[in-house]
Amino acid sequence: MKKIVEIAHDLLVEYVPNCHISVDFTMGRGNDTLFLAQHSSYVYAFDIQQECIEETKQKLNMHHLHNVKLICASHVDAFTYIKEKIDAGIFNFGYLPQSDQHITTMLETSKVAVEEALKRLVKKGMLILVLYPGHEEGEKESEYFAKWSKQLASKDYNVMQIKMWNKEKAPYILAIQKIREEEKNED
């Protein structure tokens, strides 16, 4: 079977084939950023750790990719940098593998970041949330986003969950596709 992140990439290629603007909200080791750069016109990538910026820059240079803006900032601040609508985005929550596990995404900022990303998503665009319930903060994020995503209006969004059924704490995906624009309230 494919790894969960490989499945996330497959979903983006299949459902957002003409991706102009994409965002890696949680850069980490740069694998999602590299993937998005290979399949998008332009990519914004965020992380709070400078080592992530440097490692990702090296990966992109090795592949001669220059369509990425690497930003040392939290995912919650992404839309102070991004002014346009986005076609695709990926959140790979948790902590940097083989690093300090105390530096992790936090539910309070992740909620704000995901909700803002959803507002900025174009019609037929997709957000991928890769959740890691195997650690304390990851479990909070996992529980919140599972409940939150079930409440998204089915006339506006398709939501799919992909997980290993027989592995309780395994990482899993919530894929959210916008199928129509929200109606504006006119007062």
CATH number of the domain where residue 163 is located: 3.40.50.150
Q: Is residue 186 part of a domain?
A: no
Q: Is residue 184 part of a domain?
A: no
Q: Is residue 61 part of a domain?
A: yes
Q: Is residue 173 part of a domain?
A: yes
Count of domains in the chain?
1
Q: What share of residues in the chain are helix, strand, coil (percent, to 5)? A: 35, 30, 35
pLDDT, position 96: 56
Torsion angles phi and psi, residue 185, rounded to 5: -85, 125
- Give the span between the Cα atoms of 90 and 46, in whole angstroms: 11
pLDDT, position 13: 92
Q: Domain containing 169: what range?
A: 4-178
Q: Is residue 183 part of a domain?
A: no
Q: What is the pLDDT along the chain (187 residues), one digit of tens a residue?
A: 888 889 999 999 998 888 999 999 999 999 999 999 999 999 999 999 899 999 999 999 999 999 999 999 999 999 999 999 999 999 998 755 666 566 777 789 999 999 999 999 999 999 999 998 877 887 898 899 999 999 999 999 999 999 988 888 889 999 999 998 766 555 4
Closest CA to 179 of 117, 123, 128, 129: 123
Query: What radius of gyration, in Å, describes the C-alpha atoms of the chain?
Result: 16
Note whether 132 and 138 are within 8 A (CB): yes
Q: Is residue 187 part of a domain?
A: no
pLDDT, position 76: 96
Q: Is residue 161 part of a domain?
A: yes
Q: Is residue 164 part of a domain?
A: yes
Note whether 123 and 183 are within 8 A (CB): no
